[in-house]
Structure 1
Amino acid sequence: MDNTTWVANDTGQSDFILLGIFSQSKHPTLLWVVIFVLLLIALSGNTILIFLIYSDAHLHTPMYFFISQLSLMDMMYISVTVPKMLMDQVIGVNNISAPKCGMQMFLYVTLGGSECFLLAAMAYDRYVAICYPFHYPILMNHKVCILLAFGCWFLGSLDGFMLTSVTMTLAFCKSQEIHHFFCEVPAVMKLSCSDTSLYETLMYLCCVLMLLIPLTVISSSYFFILLTIYRMNSAKGRKKALTTCTSHMTVVILFYGAGIYNYMLPSSYHTPEKDMMASVFYTILTPVLNPLIYSLRNKDVTAAVKKMLNVGTVLQEAIK
């Protein structure tokens, strides 16, 4: 065994060092507080949205079922990376073992892939609701919704398994410092001393499938939706149809915009700082914004909130 091979195998088993975003900031304490507040908002906002959907009978529809799945994914998404990052900053430790890095990577990619397909399923749901309203209860019954949700989770986990298994079996003989705040695939891959050209091609093709196939479904769905809305005679009907789609399109643009930048643009467009900012956007900000987008722009959800607050007021008066 030559010295180079020994180094690769030896460092492949040692801890990685996450440099994170706090080392790049002039005010790390203030940044820590901001991220902690965003974490609380994301967790509480998505929890409340899930509770409202499952407690209010008026929200027991396919659209809100998918929104509840999106909120669940967002809660897990932000929990995979941010709590560890905040805790490491407090205790002054920023290392992560190879098995924990692999687990974090698997969960992160799985949730990201699942959300890609879920957004496509949500677009298909809106397409059926607007273009085939009379067949909607049959085409989007409870069994179909469950199967679509299961398919999203399965395809996401398949993507997570493929990317993680290949990335974590690479030989790491360069610096163990990951220029990121979590074990994201491109950032970890940069540490490898192996020839990663074949793997980079594989990852690119995989990400094209994971991003472009759902994006094609979303684009096709909204093309027919807009065509149907254009043909509507009722101005009120047009407004209602557009309102139900606007929130979803906003979420799609936020999520896919950052995802395409990180995983599909050539390496010449990337720097560690830009990559971290893009990851902050869809790892932290998107889970914060999604429940706000679906609640503030949705009359059914705001009505459910008012109903819940009224029940709380009645209970307080009854206790007094």
Structure 2
Amino acid sequence: MTSSTTGSGTGNATGNGFGLCAGRVAVVTGAGRGLGRAHAHALAAEGARVVVNDLGVGLDGAGGSAGPAQDVVDEIVAAGGEAVAHGGDIATAVGAASLVATAVETFGRLDILVNNAGFLRDKMLVNLDEDAWDAVMRVHLKGHFLALKYAGAHWRAEAKAGRAPQARVINTSSGAGLLGSVGQGNYSAAKAGILGLTLVAAAELGRYGVQVNAIAPAARTRMTEEVFAEAMTASGEGGFDAMAPENVSPLVVWLASEAAAGVTGRVFEAEAGRITVMEGWRPGPSADKGARWTPAEAGEAALVLLAAAELPQPVYGAQ
């Protein structure tokens, strides 16, 4: 299901003008509100033509409306940019394939995929039912996988046809995926899975001219508005809204541009005015007996290694 609206103008707001992403075509999932909306606007402001994907569902994934995606398209067009709405479900093969097709059929190419769509169904583990687990895994992890699969297949075909792309994928993880979050076992697991998927995709698709990175943003959206409602930092004339989703988008735009050449398989935290390169799992203290340990020996060695290791970061919400 698609609906399109395009416009043209001058300057950075138009897909045919100037800007870091001038001449490039981006698709952004979950772009009707929050972070996705901010990313779509920021990409358009830097010259990209944008496919705005959103089902218009509620915070828990229920319902649906074409309004949010079309509203963002109308805003981009009013600013002199070019955009098209896409209402397909990217957690289905049909929806993900049509997302890629919409970009190619409308704008003639695809250069950027920003995977952002998601919702919450929070419960403590012992109260978390299978439906809530499956629903969150479906939209976050399967949605990332399918959009990446069909975009990757398109770019592979382009590369094999001699039209080597300079393609970019930006996946959306979370601090919950990096550290875990109490009451969000399903969400944390899905966001951690996105990090693993990012690393694999970067390794597999690099030969076709595709770079794949992930962000772990912190911003005030429908999913976090209660947490960040009062988070404001006065900085400069008029103040600085530290939790505005627009603070995350500049990094996304740069990662989506040709200026980010050579940056792939990396994870960035982005919050307010701070950008952090996350270093992930890497070997710490180690011991090698050169033979099989007994259980008692393994325990003794583990205690020595733990004493030499850095303490892990605390899980969000842990006491």
Normalised TM-score (structure 1): 0.30
More strand by share: 2
Normalised TM-score (structure 2): 0.30
In our comparison, the structure showing a higher alpha carbon Rg is 1
More helix by share: 1
Give the structure, 1 or 2, with the largest relative contact order (CA under 8 Å, sep 6 or more): 1
